[in-house]
Structure 1
Amino acid sequence: MFKSVYQVATFRQTDAVVQRQVRTARDASRIFVRFSHRPILASNSIIKKDSTYPHKPREKLLSQGPSSLSEIELLALFLRTGTPGESASEMALRLIQHFGSLGKLLHADYQAFKEFKGIGVSKWAQLRACLEIARRSYIEELEQRNNLQSIGLVKDFLINTIGHKPYEVFTCLFLDPGNQLICAKELFRGTVDCATVHVREVLKECLDLGCSNLIVAHNHPSGELKPSADDLELTAVLAQALSFVQIDLLDHLIVSKNGAISLHEQGFI
């Protein structure tokens, strides 16, 4: 039985509509599967990666205090977020491994940070700001004390301010007659293994500030705390020069990231 031309056209049109509906439904199903499948994999991946750190640092800090946090947790709390495919905790671990320690990370310059993927100038600036806040808090604590009888406090202050520097610096703590801190100043900066100290400039600063006593310090980037012959000679020359203007050199400390020694305690002053 033959169909009329009209009937053939109608059936063909109907077949085309059905085929389009089938293709559309099939494509929609594929799109749904494709897009709904990715979040599930990503979610499982995040859970698996974060399983090493079952407690969120912020909640742990609130319940147990900041001292309960590891270095990785403290840094993750600061970072807040990671990067796609990497949690804040994983990035914190990668940062510490990359720089070698938390202290080296905090004191790294921006050029070193540029080599690390995932951290920009904003985070680097925030880290340096945190370090400066800690440094100033030490200065404030020193200034608010009646005197500087605690050599331990002075050592802590110097370790945290110059102990991690990759080059030598010479710092002075200017004191009044009651050994109260007037101010702390970094007077000279050198290279990785030496710094030139001008005794005349030290005397000028002491007279300008009207100090009566002085504590000086310099760092050894190598980590070696043993005083060199030059260190002992500088101490003797500086003490003699200060005595001419009735200023006492109370101590000369040698500092590194690992600790500090007092030449007064060693018997050299």
Structure 2
Amino acid sequence: MIRDVNIEDRPRERLLRQGAMSLSNQELLAILLRTGTKEESVLVLANRVLSVFERLHHLKHATIEEMVAIKGIGEVKAIQLLAAIELGRRLAQKQSEEKYTIRSPQDAAAYLMPDMTSLSQEHFVTLFLNVKNQIIHKQTIFIGSLNASIVHPREIFREAVKRSAASIICAHNHPSGVPTPSTEDIEVTKRLIEAGYIMGIELIDHVIIGDHQFISLKEKGYF
């Protein structure tokens, strides 16, 4: 039990003494959970949570149903964890948006992959850029199978005008993990290029995200 751990080695005391960066993922999770159960310490419970999700990265996609299915995690603990995860995600995203400049398809893919590479459904996302190619806004346009009749250029370019964007980058993921462009992908891209030309807002690229890999339709010569 946690009371059997030397007081100086307990997570909260170590955080106070050495700072949060010195703690392991298990210890940070234990602080959020606060208490264990009658059968196991909070450190053991934290370790089991990490084991269920295999790696820390997978926690950000956890649902409350998945959380409460873990023995020792009730609704209150699940809500605390999900709130902390969402707060961290928003903070990281805000910091990235404030500083991130797109200089290449690799830059766009690196920015998008953490959120898109493991999604179970297709998400169509647009990055809105200023004249310095810095991200000023990111928006999910729709969720579902990509179809030229569903992706309306007016929705994307209305937002681009609202944000005073100089250019845009579109991206979507393939849940199969294979980023090879389909006929629909190419057709959607052509429609967006034409609309962008009329609006004076350039489509810089359309990036397809797979399983830790990507394809740039610009690099592949589709436009």
1:254 corresponds in structure 2 to 208
Find the aligned partners of 2:96 and 2:172 in 1 and give their Cα distance.
18
What displacement does 1:59 show?
5.9
Q: 1:255 to 1:156 in 2, by over 3 A?
A: same
1:54-69 → structure 2 map (5 Å cutoff): 56-58=10-12, 63=18, 66=21, 69=24
Higher helix share: 1
User: Does structure 1 residue 220 correspond to structure 2 residue 190?
Assistant: no
Report sequence identity in percent.
36
Determine the structure 1 residue equivalent to 2:76: 122
AA partner of residue 72 (structure 2): G
Judged with a 3 Å threshold, the aligned counterparts in structure 2 of structure 1 residues 256 and 116 are, in CA distance, closer, same or farther, namely: farther
Mark the runs of 5 or more structure 1 residues left unpaired by the alignment.
Answer: 1-42
8 Å CA contact 1:146, 1:178 repeated in 2: no
CA RMSD of aligned residues (A): 3.5
Which of residues 160, 163, 177 in structure 2 aligns to 1:206?
160
Alpha-carbon distance change, 105 to 182 in structure 1, aligned in 2, over 3 angstroms: closer
Output aligned runs, 1:34-73, within 5 Å. Answer: 56-58=10-12, 63=18, 66=21, 69=24, 71-73=25-27
Deviation at 1:257, TM superposition (A): 6.4
Instruction: Give the secondary structure class of the aligned counterpart of 1:244.
Output: helix
Q: Does 1:103 align with 2:57?
A: yes
Q: Deviations over 1:28-85 (max 9, x none)?
A: xxxxxxxxxxxxxxx7x985xx7xxxx544566664973772x434433432321111
1:171-209 deviation digits (Å, cap 9, x = unpaired)? 11112223233321111012xxx2442233223322333
Corresponding residue of 1:13: none
**CA 1:131–1:153 in 2, change beyond 3 Å: closer, same or farther?**
farther
1:213 Cα deviation after fit: 0.1
Q: Secondary structure at the match of 1:166?
A: coil
Is the alpha carbon distance of 1:145 and 1:231 closer, same or farther for their aligned partners in structure 2, counting shifts above 3 Å?
same
| 2:113 alignment counterpart | 159
Distance of 1:131 and 1:158 partners within structure 2: 18
Kindly indicate whether the alpha-carbon contact (under 8 Å) linking 1:46 and 1:85 is maintained by their aligned counterparts in 2. Answer: no
Letter paired with 2:71: K
Q: TM-score, structure 1 length as denominator?
A: 0.65
The number of residues matched between the two structures is 218
Greater RCO (CA < 8 Å, at least 6 residues apart): 2
Q: Distance in 2 between matches of 1:173 and 1:159?
A: 13
Distance in 1 (alpha carbons) for counterparts of 2:75 and 2:211:
25
Which of 183, 189, 200 does residue 235 from structure 1 map onto? 189
